[in-house]
Amino acid sequence: MTPRQSLTVAISSRALFDLDESNRVYEEQGLEAYRQYQIERENVPLEPGDAFPFVRKLLSINKLLERAAVEVILLSRNTADTGLRIFNSIREHRLDITRAAFSGGSSPYRYVQAFDCDLFLSTEPEDVARALENGAAAATLLGAPQDANASEELRIAFDGDAVVFSDQAERVFQEAGAKAFGESEAAAADELLAGGPFKAFLGGLHALQREFPQDRCPIRTALITAREAPAHERVIKTLRAWDIRLDESLFLGGRDKAAFLRAFGADVFFDDRRENCEGAQAHTAAGHVPHGVVNADS
């Protein structure tokens, strides 16, 4: 794998900060009232949003490596005028974020590729869907508990099919059932799975991990999948061929993922099934990846 110079993550303003009250003003009173509301409070720092701990821990990696290994870029539907409060809040919270795109009410997804981003997190499902359609790893952040992982270690969990891998195996499950899925995966154990939308992001994380001694790495990753034996073999061989190592791999055989996410201590969990993300919200920030066959009609 070619060494990466940096990992770039785009984040929406509503994912980074708590803008619920501001958004309520916009929805109830309109754009001009919202503009005045933000200008009058532009020196009042915004409270952290659901993605704030994830972003803070990502940026802390730069201090540990003493170089700009990670960059976070703000993408916002605000104008620069109303976005001044957001930049003031970034400064107040001492986040090293210097690049931003304020799209003035339109979707900022088109700047994900322009900034060469490896990941886009937003609270706007439409923006996320468009980013995915254009080849970016993207997820709709659904929320996070108040007592999320308090350690300084960044812990990220991924579902497998339609997230790290393509949905080719999931399609068999949806069309023919669990028995046919198991048989198909056992027969194809030596055939590599195609990459999903989060393959490159996972690869970027692994490249960062390699810059640290294994026993002192500030990033820990986990695959948490409903697969079980014998369907696990194809996954393991695919990751091995990609030269990507996951710290933990949980093959749950259909069991609910929430308790395992709590045990792992995830800061964020990415899954293509919205119901899994909603179930995970009590324990971690959850990113719904609207990709693959289970999201075909959404």
- Dihedrals phi, psi of 245, to nearest 5 degrees: -105, 130
38-56 in b/e burial notation, b at 16+ Cβ within 10 A? beeebeebbebbbbbbbbb
How far does Cα 126 stand from its chain's mean position? 16
Answer yes or no: are the C-beta atoms of 269 and 121 closer than 8 Å.
no
Beta strands in 5-146 (DSSP E): 7-12, 70-76, 100-102, 119-122, 138-141
3-class SS of residue 285: strand
3-class SS of residue 249: strand
Residue 286: its H or E element: strand 285-288
Q: Show which residues are catalytic.
A: 159
3-class SS of residue 17: strand
Task: Please work out, in degrees rounded to the nearest 5, the angle formed at the alpha carbon of residue 133 by the alpha carbons of 236 and 12.
Answer: 95
Count the residues in the chain.
298
Cβ-based burial of 150 (10 A; exposed 0-12, middle 13-18, buried ≥19): exposed
Neighbouring CB atoms inside 10 A of 11's CB total 28
Tokens of 83: 């976005």
Closest CA to 97 of 207, 15, 21: 15
- Rounded Cα–Cα distance for residues 155 and 261 (Å): 10
Answer yes or no: are the C-beta atoms of 235 and 160 closer than 8 Å.
yes
